[in-house]
Chains A and B, each alone.
Chain A
Amino acid sequence: MAATAWGGRGFRYSLYGALFAAALVYPFVFRQPFPQDLAIKIFLFGGLASAWNVLGGFTGQVSLGNAIFFGVGAYAAAVVQTQWGWTPWAGVLLGMAAAVGIGVLIGYPCFRLKGHYFAMATLVIGEVVSTLFMNWKWVGGAIGVYIPIRDDTWKYYQFGTTKLPYYYVMLAFLVSALVLSAALLRSRMGFYFRAIREDQDAARSLGVPARRYKLAAMGISAALTSVGGSLYAQYVLFIDPHSVFPMMLSIQVVLIAILGGVGTLWGAVVGAVILIPLSEFTRIYIGGTGSGLDLIAYGLLIVVISVIQPRGILGFFRKAGAA
C-alpha cells in the first residue's frame, strides 16, 4: 500500500529472505565464540528494542522502564528452577504473565500522564522495582541467583559446549518480535496505536478507546521484553538486580530504536546492528577501566545521528506513508 524507496514488494521479500539465510549460516562461517556472542547480543537487543518500539514507537508512549520487564522475565526463568525445579520454559510463560500484569499495573495510573511525565514515571518505577528485588530475600536479594549448571539439555535450556542453540533461539526471538510488529502495523490495532501517538484526542473522537489500546501496547511490549529477559538469564546463568534491572538497559533499548528509526519495523534491527558492535568494540579497544571513552564514542554517534537525521537511519530511505 505505502510507497517505499526500496522498490516493489518482490524485491523486499527477496531481501528479507537473503538476510534470514545469511543469519542462518552465520555461525558456520564465524565459528569463534566472540562473533557468535556478538550476534546473539544483536538479536537480543534488536528484539528488546522492537518490543519497546511497540509501546514507544508505534503508540508514542516513551517508556524508560522496560528493564522492569526484562528483569521480571530473567528472574522468572531462574527462580522457577532454583525454587521449584521447573524447566525455565515454564519460567518464560510465567515471566510473560507477570510482566503483562506489572505492565498493566504501571500503565493504569501512568497513562493518565502524557509525554515526558509518563517517561519520568516509568524511569522512577524501574528504580523502585530494582530496589525491591535487591531486598527480596526469596529471590536471592542483592546476591542474585545462580542457575544450577547441567549438561547440555533442551529441557533446562543449557548448553556449555556450543552457542548454536542460544544463537538460533535468540534469532527466533528477534524474528518473532519483527513478525508480530509487522502484523500489528497492518492491523486495526496498529492503526489505533499510531493514531494515539499522533493525536490522542483526535483518535478518541474517531472511536479509539485510547486507554485500553495503550494498555494493550504496554502488555505486548512487556511480554516480549520478558521473553528476552528469560533467554538472557539462561544464556549467562547468573543474574542479580544490577545485571537485569539496570536503568542503562532501559535507556539502551530506546537509543537503539531511535537510532534505527523510531516507529518503524526495521529500525530496531538497524539500530542494534550498529550500536551493539560499536559498544562492544569501543569497550575492547578504547574502554579500559574507568576511562569511559567507549561511552563517549557511543554518545557521539547518537548526537550526530539525531542532528543529521532525527528520524533515525531508516529516515534516509523513507518516502511516504510507510510505517
Chain B
Amino acid sequence: MSFLTVGGVTKRFGGLSANDDISFEVARGEIVGLIGPNGAGKSTLFSCIAGYHPVTSGTIDFDGKRISGLPPEAICRRGVARTFQIARVFKEMSVLENVMVGAFLSTSSRGEAEAHARAVLGRVGLSGKAEAFARSLTVSEQKRVQLARALATRPKLLLLDEVMAGLTPQETAEAVALVRSFRGDGITMVIVEHVMEVVMPISDRVVVLDYGKKIAEGAPEEIVRNELVIKAYLGEKRGAKH
C-alpha cells in the first residue's frame, strides 16, 4: 500500500505552472529520489507536500489520510519532517537548542527533549558542537543541524531538500552513509537532488521532473538510460558535445 500518494498535483504561481499534474507514490520504507534540472519544480513540490504552498489542484495523502490543505505544523505532527534547500537554522540558538525544538514535538519535558536531542546529535556527528551557536557553524554543519532537527521530531517520512549540495566529496560520502542509516530506523525518504551521481546509488526509485512535469519514473539504472532524462539534463546530444 502506498504511504505517500501525490495525486495530480498542480501548483501555479500566477500564470506559471511550477508543478503540472504530478502523480507518484512512495511505499513505506522506500527511498525515492526526486531529480530534475534547476527550476524543474522539485522544491515547490516539497513545499506542497509539507504544507507551505497550498496546491492549486490535486491531492496529497500520507499514511491513509489527506494532508493537502493542512498547515505545515499539522503535517509535521502527522510524521512528515523536511529540511530546507538553504540551511535555515535558528542562528541565535545553540546547536543543542535547535535540535531540542524538534524534540519537543513528542514531549513537553525539557530533560527528555535534551536527552533525545543529544542522542540525535551524536547520530549526525555533531555532539562536539552542541553548545555552539548555530550561526558559528560551517554550511555543511548547518545542514546537519537541520537534518538533526528534523530527525528529532521522530518522523515517519523525511523530505530531504538538497542536503548534499555544496558538500565536499568526503562530506558527501558521510552524508550518504548517514541517510542510508536512517532506513534502518524505518524512515521513508524522498530526496531532492539535482546531482544525479548522489541520488542514484541511494534511491530505490527515481522520479524525474522537468519544467514542472513528471517526465520519467523508475529504477535508477533505467532512469540513467532514459532518453527524455538525458535530454533534460544535457540538452540535445549534438549540443552537449559543443
Contact = CB atoms under 8 A, between A and B. Distances in A.
B126 to A, nearest CB: 14
B76 A205 contact: yes
A321 B136 CA distance: 11
B97 A191 contact: yes
Interface string A22-38: 00000000000000000
A191 B97 CA distance: 8
Contacts of B71: 204, 209
B84 A202 contact: yes
B97 A207 contact: no
B74 to A, nearest CB: 8
Interface residues of B, number: 35
Interface in A167-198: 186-188, 191-192, 194-195, 197-198
Nearest to B149: A206
B105 A207 contact: yes
Nearest to A210: B73
A201 interface: yes
A195 B131 contact: no
Interface in A255-314: 263
Interface residues on A, range: 20 to 34
A320 B91 CA distance: 11
Contact of B101 (A186, A187, A208, A321): A208
B170 to A, nearest CB: 27
Contacts of A197: 92
B192 interface: no
B93 A320 contact: no
Nearest to A60: B92
Interface of B: 50, 52, 71-73, 76-77, 81-82, 84, 88-94, 96-97, 100-102, 104-105, 108, 110, 113-114, 131-133, 149-150, 152-153
Interface of A: 1-3, 186-188, 191-192, 194-195, 197-199, 201-210, 263, 320-321
10 contacts: A1-B114, A2-B131, A191-B104, A192-B104, A195-B90, A201-B72, A204-B76, A207-B76, A207-B105, A321-B96
